[in-house]
Structure 1
């Protein structure tokens, strides 16, 4: 029991911080720099032999780095060696503090040069690179992007000294929820700061700006290389890099290549053959989280043509419509297809428990009534779902647009609505007063797609 409790407390903050950073569809981010101190105080005096045994267990547990599972496409071969040194300090009360020393990142300029050489080796090599190599390079690029933006190779997650920082709220909540009890947390001294202050945090602004441009260009050249297969995990890392560095203009072309890029295959003679892809297939649909991040980045830089290009290469693609159909329409359609069978079984049972009508007459009457009831309600529900417009603010469908188009293209209309809300006036009473070439181009684009921007009947005070 003591060993289990001790094992949990050591490395407690490390695992919690990683849980706060990881998301459902994102690839793992390796911890290059970890400077976390976890301490505990014994509740009761222990014998010397037992204390020594617990110390050895503590050291063995702290030496093991956190294990992160790579994405499914590269899980079999990717292994990273992490070297961590540990130091043991005994305080005045006899409590053991195990501190994990930070891994040296090295000179950022040398690291950037090394990363550029590795990417150039992949793009100029006549052989087909493995998915693990491409993912590793993009992972290093993402860590360097975090170093350029935040001053450390991972996004900051916790800083108790800055109570006004909203970004640390989520991580603080995760740590507070994972604490055993209020009394236990009060008796355990916690370190005051969990973020890492590395020498790279003093990088000059000119180097950071130039490094951001170089990183975006290198990631772009790597992913668009004909020999590189764009998997979903690789696309996820690429989108995170470009959005983090504020360069969403590199995204539409990669979104297009994700479904149209020929698939390379190494032949026995050493050459590479390319086969065309089925661009309409639902497996090439851009995940919704990535398209949302790309659109937010385009809105942040105030580039309306880029935002429309992102819509055209994500939610307006045929594969996205097919994926929406498979995910949201197929289950209800299967339920409708099973309705006659279920209704027939129910009608057969009802006909056996009544003695008013003939058995066959009662069975078919009950079957007709149940099918009519379910079909009528299903039709009303479909019409209500496709004509519902309470969630629409500035962009609505034109009158006469088919119900199927309204439903299957709802994500496209939603993205145009987000663009209109970002570019237009925030005050509702001023909506409709916007002017300018970009605004007129947005209005015309919506009209060409069977949408209406700022319909008069739905504006403030015009209902």
Structure 2
């Protein structure tokens, strides 16, 4: 076996085969590989780090510590809203609508923007009032000397603010009411909804009946050249009806304020108007009535086609019999559905219809009955066992008013155990 030395200095050699034994090769060549030598350990007598290296290391450690540890941010100091600025802003918004300029009328978009801004300012003031109700750390009291106590120094006195939060809310409510009552402002459904939302937020629902009346009867302003002309409104038209969701929100605000006469006036100026009944008839009964109107034409067409498919009788006779049968079926189904819809009382709680009220009137006035039922439920006992025991001047007035509307409050035959 042949060995090779690697390097000049003598060192340990390791035999490593470089070829596999093969029958045709009698000799296996090997090469010498140096064995790995152990590394020399570092000397403990190495030179100490320089001051610059120590400062860099300390800076890196400080950066790592700041990056890994989160320091809580201090709370922002509480800043109360400036009531004077809010008051000036309310006056500016009101003037932009009430004084638009010569020969111009306030646009609907401008009125809506003003009401939205007033609602935002009202929320800011209301949130501030809620924050004031929470206990806070007492402020540092001023020291009072004997001289200031005798003379009543200015520093020891506390003067009330000129503009309070309650006065700001009253100004916002009055500004919104002035906008709604202004003869140059045409109250649209969107403006009416925004107004009701704002006054409900401020808990000032006393103007709702008058505004509802203005919505239906207010003269319509229009420009003719540089002059404003007012055309009379039609309170009985469909477009003069108070939207159902707006009336519902207004009634809820009156119930929350616990004002029974106001709630009755809201129902009278919204649900009880002829325009509201016409609007419901147009929206909900137009399609069924149109179907009943088309039914005879469709029945006659089908009867003519069916008469051509038979040979037992004359064509005219067969057409008449088929037409009568189809119309009888359609009429019976329609009448059954009409009676079922107009006589359903599962939704009634305390207020029901009196005997003798026509079925058509019951269906048209169902929203009115539901509103009165909601009002009675809010004023009466919530306990089922105590219903019928209510007393008082307001309750008796409500019972009498319900009777004048063709309804019955707490019908005895429908009470539990009185069937």
Q: Residues of 1 paired with 2:80 and 2:114: CA distance?
A: 16
- Alignment of 1:439 onto 2:416: no
CA gap of 1:362–1:371, structure 2 versus 1, over 3 A, is same
Superposed CA deviations along residues 195-228 of structure 1, whole A, max 9, x for unmatched, are xxxxxxxxx9x94333222211110011111111
Q: How does 1:264-283 map to 2 (within 5 A)?
A: 264-268=221-225, 270-283=226-239
SS of alignment partner, residue 274 of structure 1: strand
Q: Name which of structure 1's ranges 326-335 and 143-152 shifts more when overlaid on structure 2.
A: 143-152
Q: 1:375 aligns with which of 318, 331, 350?
A: 331
Match of 1:385 in 2: 341
SS of alignment partner, residue 345 of structure 2: coil
- Alignment of 1:288 onto 2:244: yes
Paired residues in the alignment total 310
Q: 2:166 aligns with which of 200, 209, 214?
A: 209
Q: Residues of 2 paired with 1:330 and 1:210: CA distance?
A: 49
Q: Residues of 2 paired with 1:445 and 1:354: CA distance?
A: 63
SS of alignment partner, residue 266 of structure 1: strand
CA gap of 1:355–1:149, structure 2 versus 1, over 3 A, is farther
Q: 2:114 aligns with which of 137, 141, 162?
A: 137
Q: Residues of 2 paired with 1:208 and 1:288: CA distance?
A: 33
Match of 1:252 in 2: 209
SS of alignment partner, residue 106 of structure 2: coil
Q: CA offset at residue 409 of structure 1?
A: 0.9
Q: Residues of 1 paired with 2:191 and 2:306: CA distance?
A: 57
Match of 1:109 in 2: 84
Q: CA offset at residue 444 of structure 1?
A: 0.4
Q: Residues of 2 paired with 1:336 and 1:207: CA distance?
A: 63
Q: 1:417 aligns with which of 363, 369, 373?
A: 373
SS of alignment partner, residue 425 of structure 1: coil
Q: 2:98 aligns with which of 99, 110, 123?
A: 123
Q: Residues of 1 paired with 2:81 and 2:401: CA distance?
A: 50
Match of 2:255 in 1: 299
CA gap of 1:431–1:230, structure 2 versus 1, over 3 A, is same
Cα RMSD between the aligned structures?
2.4
Q: 1:402 aligns with which of 358, 361, 376?
A: 358
Q: Residues of 2 paired with 1:427 and 1:379: CA distance?
A: 39
Task: Give structure 1 stretches of 5+ with no counterpart.
Answer: 1-91, 94-103, 153-203
SS of alignment partner, residue 229 of structure 2: strand
CA gap of 1:106–1:433, structure 2 versus 1, over 3 A, is closer
* 8 A contact 2:80–2:128 mirrored in 1: no
SS of alignment partner, residue 227 of structure 1: coil
Q: How does 1:56-455 map to 2 (within 5 A)?
A: 107-120=82-95, 122-123=97-98, 127=102, 128-150=105-127, 207-268=164-225, 270-455=226-411
Q: CA offset at residue 133 of structure 1?
A: 2.5
* 8 A contact 2:352–2:409 mirrored in 1: yes
Q: Residues of 2 paired with 1:324 and 1:246: CA distance?
A: 29
Return the TM-score normalized by structure 1.
Answer: 0.63
Task: Give structure 2 stretches of 5+ with no counterpart.
Answer: 1-66, 69-78, 130-160
Superposed CA deviations along residues 364-411 of structure 1, whole A, max 9, x for unmatched, are 111101101111221222122112112111111110111121111111
* 8 A contact 2:220–2:232 mirrored in 1: yes
Q: CA offset at residue 289 of structure 1?
A: 1.1
Superposed CA deviations along residues 136-184 of structure 1, whole A, max 9, x for unmatched, are 21121011122123459xxxxxxxxxxxxxxxxxxxxxxxxxxxxxxxx
* 8 A contact 2:83–2:168 mirrored in 1: no
Superposed CA deviations along residues 251-301 of structure 1, whole A, max 9, x for unmatched, are 111111011111112332x33221111111111211111111101111111
